[in-house]
Every structure is written in C-alpha cells, then in structure tokens.
Structure 1
Amino acid sequence: MAKQASLTQSMSELHTWAGLVLGWVLFAIFLTGTLAVFDKELNWWMQPELRVTGQSQAEAVQVAEDWLRANHAGASAWNIGLPSERGPGLSVSAGEQRRGERTYLDASTGELVEPRDTAGGSFFFRFHYTLHMGRDLGVWIVGLAAMAMLVAIISGIIIHKKIFKDFFTFRPGKGQRSWLDGHNASAVLLLPFHLMITYTGLVIFFLIYMPAATDVLYNGDRQAMFRELRPGAEQHQPQQGQQGQGQAERGERSGQGEHVEQASRGEAPAQMLPLAGFIALGEAHYGAGMLSSISVSNPDRANAQVEVRPMLGSRIELTKGESMAFNAITGAALRVPEPSRATLLTQRVMAGLHFAQFGGYPMRWLYFICGLISCAMIASGLVLYTVKRRRQAKVSATWLRQADWLNTTVVAGLMVACVAMLWANRLLPVELAERSEWEQRVFFGSWLLTLLHARVRAPSRAWIEQLAAGGLLLLALPLLDFLLAAAAADVLRLSVDATAVICGALLLWIGWRVAHQPAAVERAALRKTPKPAKSRPEPAGAQS
C-alpha cells in the first residue's frame, strides 16, 4: 500500500504546479503592473511635444476657456483636461468629441500643440489586467492567475515552516540553492504586499467574478445597486421642464415672445462665472492641485452647469466616477459627493490600495520597488522548477526544454519587448499613420523574436543574450532621448532616463551572474571535495 503524502508534501506539489502553470502569466501581469505604477509619467515621456509651463490649474483653465469661447462658442459642451504634477498636458474638446479627439494647448500661450500619437504608458496599464485580449476574456484570465497566486502564497506559507529563517538566508554562487534562497527571501520579505496586491486586484472586478448576488437582489439591474450605494449621486434640483415652465409663464406675462421659447428650453444666453473660480471650489473639497478635468454643459446659456472631477490620488479611497456639479451662472452647488456607505467605502479603499494613486511619489516608488522584487520572486520560482527537475530527472527532457524557452521568453523576452516599445516611440516617424498601433506591433514583434531566439539557442546562452540585450537597450535609452528629443528635457523625463540606466545596469549584472554561475558552482564543489590523503613512504624492504 502506497504511503499517503504528508500535508507539507501535498502543499509542495500544489505550490509547484499552481506557480508553474500560471507563473508565466503572473510574471507578465506583475511586470506590466509595475510599469503601470508610472503610466502617466511614461505617457509624458512618450509625448515630448508636451512641455511644462509652470501654470497653475486655475491659470490653465482660463487659457482653455478663452480658446473654447473663441473657437467653439456654440458647442453643446466643453471638456478641459487639466495639467498636473504627473502630466503637463492641457487638453480641450467640444461637443460630442471623443477622448482621442482632444486638442492640446500650450497652458501659457494658448497656442495649439500637436503631440505624437503613442500607445504610451497606458498600454502597460491595460495589458496588466486584460493581457491585450478582449476585456472580459482578459479580466477572467487575469482573475484565474490571481487565484493561482493566492493558492501559491498560502501553500508556500505551509511549506516553509522556518519562514523567518528563510528571510535571513541567502547563499550566493550555490546554483539551485541560491535560486531557492532568493525565491524564499523575496517571498517572505514581501508577503504582506503579495497578499494585499493579489486580493485587492480580485476585489476590483468583484461584479464580474461574483455577479450572482447582484443579479438576484437587483434583478440584474446593476445601476440600481449603484444608486443605492451612492444615494447622494443625484441631488434634488429643479427639473429642466419645471424650470422652463416657470420661465415660460413669466415670459408670457412680460410678452417676450421668441425669448420665452428659448427660456423654456433653458437656452437663453447668460453670462457664466469664470471657470477658474470653480477650480477653487473643487480644490476646497479635494485639495490643491488634485483636479483632473472640468466640463461645462450648455456653456453661456441659462441652464449651464460645470462639473469638476478629481484625480484618483486625492485620497486612498478610489474616487473614480466621482464629481461635483455647480450652476455655472450662480456658482451654487448642485451635486456634492456624500460619504460612501461602509460596503462601497471598503471596496473603494481596497481598489485604492491596488492602484497606488495615493501618497504621492514616495508611495509610487515603494510600489515600483515591491513590484520589481515580486517579478524576481516569480522568475526565480520558474527557473528553480527547471533547475530542480533537471537534476532529479523526474520529467522528460522535451518538457524541460519547453519550460526553458518559455521561461526565457516570458521573463527576459518581455523586458526586451517593453524597452523596444520605448525605442519605437522615438524612432518611428512622428507623422506615421496609426503610430500607436505600430508601437504595439513593435512590442509584440520584439517579443516574438525573443521566442524564436530562445527556441534556437541553448537555455543558458538565451538567458545571457536576452538579458544583455535588454540591459544595453535600457542603458542606451537616455542617449537616444538626448539625440531625438533634447529640447523636451525636464525633471520628469530625466528621471525616466535615470531609472532606465539603473534598471539596465541591473539586467547586465544579472546576465553576468548567470554567465559566471556554472563556474562559481564548480569552484564551490571543488572546495567541498576532500583532498586525497598523502601516501606515506613505505619502509625499506616492504616490497619483498
């Protein structure tokens, strides 16, 4: 009768296969998520035509208002995207223009600016939770990978009984032992972060993953649920019909004729308050410099309304979809956000923890470094599987070869593809049609080339060459930026270049360690091999 496996052995197998089967997907999710921490900064870097002007949001919105009044006075709506600490762009649109049809202005002069079309850092953000698939399919695959991550974390805790010892143990130059020490140390070091970032990622899409309760309680009407969760979203205000009826009655009594009909529809011309004043009203609620956009419906008419929206980082509670509305003529508040109910507040805080939009740059850098360490943990686990199985000879050589080239392509190859996209942003012609699409084609084309390279090269050589390629591309990125966009240099863009240099040097160092690891392991093995005992000279006559 076969001996039943212990709990630790069972958890070890679960940890191995849960981490391996979806580990490649998890690495792509974590790497692009780490880059997405600075998605707006990458957007800024990838559009060097946008310059920092030093204007406040109130000054910028006045420039935008003047331009819209001069060019779109009769539009049904005005929309203004405000410059911020994380992006210098002042954008405007009128009427029913879509987001991609915005016009950019110089915030100090009001002159038109034409930034290049780019996928930007937003590409990494979308890839992080959709894997560049259809939104629903991508979200489901990412959710499955997140569940596998939770399984791997919990089973890993059960496996490592000496979890605190693992935190302080690292033995370099020991081959498989070093990979295991690095995997364990990074996992234990960031255990709270891994649990938080994985669980909150699932909470964001709770309505997709667990729709049954909502469908039953609200008969499939999710908007009814949101209305109940946000009772203050719709403030009591005069209906346009009622307001128009009162104006019409007053107009009939005064005999205003045609103006009565306009007033009944709220279309009578009226003088709006300066939009800069509404910036102050919004900042009084959300904080200075924390507004992302302002929009005006029916500008310069009696029924004009102004809506101000905050940036996501105004506080730890995610404020997506939240806004304040004012009467554009009188400045009276029409809608002010009320405190969220406990259930919605909980979900919003968890989403805010995941998006890391709070706490400014210190918090973003903390998340970025934690993300890099998490990528190292996943990568070391994937490599450890092949190293351990090759020594134990428990699986076929064919399967190990497939795992080797997948490891190389997903880890090193994906990093090369990300850097190649940044290079494409500078090298592709600015006037190129569908330019953002071509940047994405460069990304996936480069990734495909790394796959082909990993298939034809020996595993160790493929690792070394792809890590070296990624490192050299990163080190040379500031030079490329200086040659092609020197006039756009500012503190943020220089920070991106400096980060590229540091990450490039790190990749080259890792490649160097991989290249010299076999020799180091061999030297360590020779040091441990006992030396043969010296033979003593035999006494004379012993050979008789």
Structure 2
Amino acid sequence: MSRQPSLTQSMSALHTWAGLVLGWLLFAIFLTGTLAVFDRELTWWMQPELQDRQVDQASAVQVAQRWLAANQRDASAWNIGLPTARDPSLSVSAGEQRRGQRTLIDAESGEQITPRETAGGSFFFRFHYTLHMPRFLGIWVVGFAAMAMLVAIISGIIIHKKIFKDFFTFRPVKGQRSWLDGHNASAVLLLPFHLMITYTGLVIFFLIYMPAATDALYGGDRDALLRELRPDAQQQQGARRGEGGRPSREVQTASAAMLPLDHFITLGEAHYGAGMLSSLSVAQPGRVNARVEVRPLLGSRLELTKGEALAFNAITGELLRAPPPTRTSLLVQKVMAGLHFAQFGGYPMRWLYFICGLVSSAMIASGLVLYTVKRRRQSAAQGVWLRQVEWLNLACVGGLMLACVALLWANRLLPADLAEREGWELRVFFGAWLAALLHARLRAPLRGWLEQLAASAVLLLGLPLLDLLTALAVPDRIRLGVDLTGLGLGALLALAAWKVSTRPTATVRAARRAPAAMAEVQS
C-alpha cells in the first residue's frame, strides 16, 4: 500500500506546477509592470521633441489660458494638463476631446508642438494587465495568473520549513546551490511585497472577478452601485449643466470676465499641497456661469484620487464643491489601488517598487530555470517535455527582455513622420519577441541564453549613445535618468551573459547535483 504524500510534499508539487505552468505569464506581467512604474518617464524619453522648460504650474496655466483664448474662445470647455515632475509637458484641449486628442504647447512661448507618434510607456502599463489581448479577456487571464501567484506564494511558505534560515543563506560560487539560495532569499526577503502587489492587483478589478454582489443587489447594474458609492458624481454632472438644471439660452450666451486661471492653482495647492495638481478644466469659459475644476495628482495621497476635483466659480473664485468624505468601503478599495499603482511617496517610493519588481522578475525566472536544471539529468522519458520547457523559458524570459529594449530602439530609429508609427513600434516589439522564440527553438539552451542575454545587454548599454545621436536637444533629467537606468540594467545583463559563457562546465556539474540541492530545500 503506497504512502499518502505529506502536506509538505503536496505543497511542493503544487508550488512547482503553479509556478511552471503560469510562470511564463507571471514573468511577463511582473516585468512589464516593473517598467510601467516609470511609464510617464519612458513616454517622455520616446518623444524627444518635448523639452523640460522647468516652468511652474502657475506660469504654465497662464500660457495655456492665452492659447485657448486665442484659438478656442467659443469652446464649451477648456481642459489643461499641467506640467508635473514626472511629465513636464503642457497640454490643452477643448470641448469633449479626450487625452489622446490633446494639443501640446511650449510652456514658455505657447507655440504648438507636434511630437512623434509612439506607443510610449503606457504600452507596458496596458500590457501588464491585459497582455495585449482584448481588455476583458486579458483582465481575466491576468487575474487567473495572479491567483496562481498567490497559490505559489502560500505553498512556498508551507514547504520552506527553514524560512528564517533561508533569509540569511547565500552560498556564492556554488553553482546550482547559489541559484537556489538566490531564489529562496529573494522570495523570503520580498514576501510582504509579493503578497501585497498580487492581492491588490486582484482587488482593483473586484467588480469583474466577483460580480455576485452587484448582480444580487443591483440587478447587474454596475453604474447603480457606483452612484451609491459616489453620490457626488451625479452632482458633478449636474453642476456642469448649471445650478438648478440646464441654464437658459440668455444665461449661456452672457459673457463675463473670468479670474486668471493661476488664481485657481493657488486655491488648489492650498487644499492638496504644492505641486500636487494634475489638471484644470473650465466649463463655459468667458460666460457668467463659468466654472473651474482643479484635479489633484493620483499620488497626492495614499488612496487613489482618480475622479476627485475642487469646483470654483470662475468669476468670483468662490468654492462651489469640495470632495465629500469617501465611504469606508470605497476608501479601502482606493487605498488598495493606491498601494498597487505606487502613486504616493514620490520618486523614492517609485524606485523602491521598481527594484522590488526587478527582484521579483528575477525570482520567477530563476524558479523556471531551476525546474529544468533539476530534471536535466533525469530519464530520457522526460527529454521531449524538458526541451519544450527549456526553449519556452528562454523565449519568455530572454525574449521578452530583448523585445522591450527593441521597442525603445525602434522608437528612435523609425522615421518620426512615419504613418501609423505606433503600430510599427509594436510590430518591432512582437517581431523581436517572435525572432527570439525561433532562436530559442533552434539553439542549444546554454548557447541561446548567452546570445539573448548578450544582445539585450548590448542594446541597453547602447541606449545612452542612441539618445545622444538622435536627441533633438540636450538630454534633460528624465531622459538622462532613463539612459542611466538602461546602462545599469545593461551592465547586469552583461554580467549574467559573462557568467553563462565562462562557466558551462560548472553548470553541467551543478545540474548533476541539482536533485540533492532541491531535496535540501524541502527538508
């Protein structure tokens, strides 16, 4: 009679298969999510026509007001995107134009700027939660992968009986043991981060993943739920039509002089803090019922402040509406979303999330590699399956890194006036990823890792030179930051490629010792 597997053995199998089957998806989700931490900075780098004028928001809004008064005097609404530390551009639009239809103007001269079309850093943000699938389908696939991540985390905690010891254990220059120590140490060190980022990612889309309450209490009407959670939303819509309903034609056409818009920057900063404003909009500009709404940055507080605004009378400056206190249930969800998006704490917090994301990506990649190394010396019956896993590991890890940096190179090398330029950038991204997949399928695993790591390292190390040769002005602080980060990541990948190239014999010996090393972590 065969023995029933112990809890540790069962959890070990669950950890292995949950990590392997969805590990490729999880690596893509974590890597692109890590890059999305600096999505605005990447977009700025990918539009070298823009220049950081170091203009404060009060001065910039005066330039925007003059431009709109000269070019959109009769528009029903003005919208102004204010320059911030992460995005120093000044944008304007009129009427119901969306963000993608905005006009960029110079924050000093007021001249219109036409930057190149680009996928920008927002591509990594969208890919992070949709995998470039149709939005609803992508959210469900990513949610399934996130649940697998939670399973892998919890099962990993159970099988690590020596979890405290693993926190302090790292044996360098020990081949397979060093990889295993690195995998364990990164998992234990960042365990709170892994639990937080995975759980909060699921909470963001709780209405999609758990619709039962909405179906039962609101008949599936999501808007009814949101209206009850945010009763001020209807008030805002009604206020835009005028007090007491739609104003008469005579009131709509009556003109009046508005206060300078920089006055409302001062009022907004008095409420949210200096430098904490993101945009300003004017309804019915130049009329007696003109209203100004001032919106904060998403990171003005820990909770996500999307949709929040202060409303003022544009003629007198009187405060008409302040954001009401948030209901506890909605506040919890906003705080969870704020924790996931890292919109609080400024650049120190953003860099912390970026480093944690890189370490997490390395943890997932090392777990995928450890699976193949452990089984490389086992029976030939597993040879076909193992070979598929090996080239998929290389294609999904090395290939995705290569595709990401190829997107940056394509942004600078494609003609600036190319038609459908954003689409061509994405073709380069997926084309490079496909080429990496074919390369991984045709090359021996060790050789494939060396070549793809080296290719990514060369492209990243060459990023500052590419910027210098194709920049339209002296690199500013944001572009220089992207260049230096690329240089640092390129150096790390070059070191990894060098390690692979100089120790092939040690890698084979480590593979033979792998079963004993893997058994040690389960003891």
TM-score of Structure 1 vs Structure 2, range by shorter chain = over 0.9
Asked if 1 retains the 8 angstrom alpha-carbon contact of 2:57 and 2:82, the reply is yes
| SS of residue matched to 2:435 | helix
CA distance in 2, matches of 1:208, 1:54: 42
CA distance in 1, matches of 2:490, 2:502: 19
1:350 lines up with 2:341 in the alignment? no
RMSD: 1.9
| SS of residue matched to 1:433 | coil
Asked if 2 retains the 8 angstrom alpha-carbon contact of 1:48 and 1:488, the reply is no
Residue of structure 1 equivalent to 2:39: 39
The one-character-per-residue Cα deviations of 1:95-124 (angstroms, maximum 9, x if unpaired) are 233322211111011111111111111100
Specify the code of the residue in structure 2 equivalent to 1:336.
Answer: A
Q: Structure 1's 242 and 465: CA in aligned 2 closer, same or farther, altered over 3 A?
A: closer
Bigger mean CA offset, 421-430 vs 487-496:
487-496
1:332 deviates by: 2.0
1:372 lines up with 2:343 in the alignment? no
CA distance in 2, matches of 1:212, 1:292: 36
1:269 lines up with 2:255 in the alignment? yes
Residue of structure 2 equivalent to 1:323: 309
Identity of paired residues, percent? 72
Specify the code of the residue in structure 1 equivalent to 2:98.
Answer: R
Residue of structure 2 equivalent to 1:542: none
Counterparts of residues 12-411 of structure 1 (less than 5 Å): 12-235=12-235, 240=242, 242=244, 261-263=249-251, 266-393=252-379, 396-411=382-397
Bigger mean CA offset, 334-343 vs 59-68:
334-343
Asked if 2 retains the 8 angstrom alpha-carbon contact of 1:105 and 1:111, the reply is yes
The one-character-per-residue Cα deviations of 1:31-90 (angstroms, maximum 9, x if unpaired) are 000000000111111111111112111110110010110011111111111110001110
Specify the code of the residue in structure 1 equivalent to 2:373.
Answer: V
CA distance in 2, matches of 1:26, 1:523: 29
Asked if 1 retains the 8 angstrom alpha-carbon contact of 2:374 and 2:511, the reply is no
CA distance in 1, matches of 2:259, 2:381: 74
Specify the code of the residue in structure 2 equivalent to 1:271.
Answer: A
| SS of residue matched to 1:396 | helix
CA distance in 2, matches of 1:524, 1:379: 18
Counterparts of residues 498-509 of structure 1 (less than 5 Å): 498-509=484-495
CA distance in 2, matches of 1:484, 1:525: 45
Asked if 2 retains the 8 angstrom alpha-carbon contact of 1:173 and 1:520, the reply is no
Bigger mean CA offset, 232-241 vs 50-59:
232-241
1:274 deviates by: 1.2
CA distance in 2, matches of 1:240, 1:424: 48
Specify the code of the residue in structure 1 equivalent to 2:11.
Answer: M
Q: Structure 1's 29 and 499: CA in aligned 2 closer, same or farther, altered over 3 A?
A: same
Asked if 2 retains the 8 angstrom alpha-carbon contact of 1:119 and 1:436, the reply is yes
CA distance in 1, matches of 2:94, 2:472: 33
CA distance in 2, matches of 1:351, 1:286: 19
CA distance in 2, matches of 1:344, 1:179: 43
1:240 deviates by: 4.0
TM-score, structure 2 as length reference = 0.94
Asked if 1 retains the 8 angstrom alpha-carbon contact of 2:394 and 2:440, the reply is yes
Residue of structure 2 equivalent to 1:532: none
Q: Structure 1's 320 and 505: CA in aligned 2 closer, same or farther, altered over 3 A?
A: same
CA distance in 1, matches of 2:244, 2:476: 53
CA distance in 2, matches of 1:241, 1:178: 69
| SS of residue matched to 2:32 | helix
1:452 lines up with 2:448 in the alignment? no
1:393 deviates by: 3.0
1:241 deviates by: 7.6
Asked if 1 retains the 8 angstrom alpha-carbon contact of 2:377 and 2:511, the reply is no
| SS of residue matched to 1:454 | helix
Specify the code of the residue in structure 2 equivalent to 1:318.
Answer: L
Number of residue pairs the alignment of both structures matches: 510
1:171 deviates by: 2.2
Q: Structure 1's 168 and 21: CA in aligned 2 closer, same or farther, altered over 3 A?
A: same
CA distance in 2, matches of 1:525, 1:16: 17
Asked if 2 retains the 8 angstrom alpha-carbon contact of 1:170 and 1:178, the reply is yes
1:221 deviates by: 2.2
1:357 deviates by: 0.8
Specify the code of the residue in structure 1 equivalent to 2:291.
Answer: Q
1:229 deviates by: 1.9
Asked if 2 retains the 8 angstrom alpha-carbon contact of 1:272 and 1:328, the reply is yes
| SS of residue matched to 2:174 | coil
The one-character-per-residue Cα deviations of 1:121-155 (angstroms, maximum 9, x if unpaired) are 11000000000111100000000000000000000
Residue of structure 1 equivalent to 2:421: 435
1:476 deviates by: 0.6
Residue of structure 1 equivalent to 2:452: 466
Bigger mean CA offset, 324-333 vs 431-440:
324-333
Bigger mean CA offset, 77-86 vs 176-185:
176-185
| SS of residue matched to 1:104 | strand
1:513 deviates by: 1.3
Asked if 2 retains the 8 angstrom alpha-carbon contact of 1:173 and 1:521, the reply is no
CA distance in 1, matches of 2:271, 2:352: 27
Asked if 1 retains the 8 angstrom alpha-carbon contact of 2:37 and 2:354, the reply is yes
Q: Structure 1's 168 and 222: CA in aligned 2 closer, same or farther, altered over 3 A?
A: same
Specify the code of the residue in structure 2 equivalent to 1:459.
Answer: P
CA distance in 2, matches of 1:241, 1:324: 16
Residue of structure 2 equivalent to 1:6: 6
Specify the code of the residue in structure 2 equivalent to 1:94.
Answer: A
Specify the code of the residue in structure 2 equivalent to 1:375.
Answer: S
1:175 deviates by: 3.2
Q: Structure 1's 410 and 524: CA in aligned 2 closer, same or farther, altered over 3 A?
A: closer
1:285 deviates by: 1.6
| Structure 1 unpaired stretches of 5+ | 249-260, 527-544
Bigger mean CA offset, 276-285 vs 441-450:
276-285
CA distance in 2, matches of 1:431, 1:275: 35
1:524 deviates by: 8.6
Residue of structure 2 equivalent to 1:534: none
1:490 deviates by: 0.9
1:354 deviates by: 0.4
| Structure 2 unpaired stretches of 5+ | 513-523
